[in-house]
């Protein structure tokens, strides 16, 4: 019930393409859904986050789509760039400042 399932495990996208990473959860008590981005040798950093009362949030080239009834959410990266190459983690919060993380997606954007 505390799991967040993330797919795909790895993704290769051409420069300028759209990268899509999907996550699913079971626990309806989750109330906050962030995405973290991690570059090699660095810790993860918050990229974008959404609450379940909205279906979409956009920040620049990054968009979260949220489907509450399906218990799914996804990250879309428009016009993907080589600098976006990183590992992306979805997460969900059961409260008390805790996060449950997905298993991660390694994105490679080819020039």
Partner 1 sequence: DVKVTQSSRYLVKRTGEKVFLECVQDMDHENMFWYRQDPGLGLRLIYFSYDVKMKEKGDIPEGYSVSREKKERFSLILESASTNQTSMYLCASTQTGTGEVETQYFGPGTRLLVL
Task: By CB under 8 A, name the one of 44, 63, 74, 75 that touches partner 1.
Answer: 44
SS3 letters for the chain? CCCEEEECCEEEEECCCCEEEEEEECCCCCCCEEEEEECCCCCCEEEEEECCCCCEEEECCEEEEEECCCCEEEEEECCCCHHHCEEEEEEEEEECCEEEECCCEEEEEEC
Question: Which of 14-22, 32-40, 63-71, 73-81 is the region at the interface with partner 1 (rule: CB under 8 A)?
Answer: 32-40
Residues touching partner 1, count (CB under 8 A): 26
Which string of x and - marks every residue 54-73 that binds partner 1 (by CB under 8 A)?
Answer: --------------------
State yes or no: residue 46 binds partner 1 (CB under 8 A): yes
The Cα diameter of the chain in Å comes to: 42
Task: By CB under 8 A, name the one of 7, 11, 24, 32 that touches partner 1.
Answer: 32
Residues that bind partner 1 (CB under 8 A): 2, 6, 9, 31-32, 34, 36, 41-46, 49, 89, 93, 95-104
């Amino acid at each position: 019930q505390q799991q967040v399932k993330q797919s795909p495990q790895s993704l290769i996208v051409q420069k300028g393409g759209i990268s899509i990473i999907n996550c699913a959860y079971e626990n309806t008590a989750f109330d906050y859904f962030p995405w973290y981005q991690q570059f090699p040798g660095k810790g993860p950093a918050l990229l974008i986050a959404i609450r379940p009362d909205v279906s979409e949030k956009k920040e620049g080239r990054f968009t979260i789509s949220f489907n509450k009834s399906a218990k799914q959410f996804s990250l879309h990266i428009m016009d993907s760039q080589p600098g976006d190459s990183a590992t992306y983690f979805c997460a969900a919060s059961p409260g008390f400042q805790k996060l449950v993380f997905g298993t991660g997606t390694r994105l490679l954007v080819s020039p």
